[in-house]
Amino acid sequence: MRDRDVRAAVRQKLAAQYAGDAANTRIVEEMGVWSGTVRIDIAVINGELWGYELKSERDTLERLPTQANIYSKVFDRVTLVVGTRHVGAAEDAVPPWWGLIVAKGDGASVRLRSVRDAERNPAPDPRLVAELLWRDEAIAALDVFGLAKGWRDKKAKLLHQRLAAGLSFQQLSEQVRLALKRREGWLGQHVSHQLDMSVDTVANPDRQVRGTGFI
């Protein structure tokens, strides 16, 4: 069972699950977190930000504790999809509110079996959620609530701090999800140098990236 087989099975599952909400749901692959230094395999963006991390039989769980720590500060829900040999170790490596799905090869296909449903993240970090926004997006979010005056020339880091302090978490997360659903030309890129630049400056519409469309 190859990594791409597990990914294809999860994408098929999610496409079917959200087929009735295609206008409001975006499914993307390799979404960067923490300025793009860590990438979650699949993210679903709609009324929640839901991450799916995939670990096939051929993968190791060496990086999982670090990934779990970061994803648990950003995503509303997270589901880990693992090959059968990883089930026991995976349950110990992630928080109990994470969902768990087991992927098992079945001839030419992959069967997915839910072991544990994902629950709502009990303690997201508002500042790290705000850091998902590029500078122009952060200013636009502040504008919605009349908080941008005097802040348009500030660095992205300060804008993120103002968002986290000035908005309720519900308001913040909604603005972040709206921005991510609208954003183009960003997946698969390292964006730490882009946060203080205009989105129009860094976007490259001619570059083909995976998963940039709605389902």
- How high is the mean pLDDT of the chain? 86
Q: What is the pLDDT of residues 48-83, one digit of tens each?
A: 999 999 998 888 899 999 999 999 999 999 999 999
pLDDT recorded at residue 46: 97
Checking if the pLDDT of 88 tops 60, the result is yes
Q: What is the pLDDT of residues 119-141, one digit of tens each?
A: 999 999 999 999 999 999 999 99
The domain limits of the chain are 3-116, 126-202
Residue given tokens 């630049």 in the structure block: 197
Percent of the chain with pLDDT over 70: 86
pLDDT recorded at residue 188: 53
Q: How many CA atoms lie within 13 Å of 123's alpha carbon, on the beta-carbon side?
A: 4
Q: How many other CB atoms are found less than 10 A from the CB of residue 161? A: 17
Residue given tokens 């880091």 in the structure block: 157
Higher pLDDT, 211 or 175: 175
Checking if the pLDDT of 23 tops 60, the result is yes
pLDDT recorded at residue 158: 97
Say which CATH architecture domain 3-116 belongs to: 3-Layer(aba) Sandwich (3.40)
Q: What is the pLDDT of residues 179-214, one digit of tens each?
A: 999 998 766 555 444 455 433 333 333 333 333 344
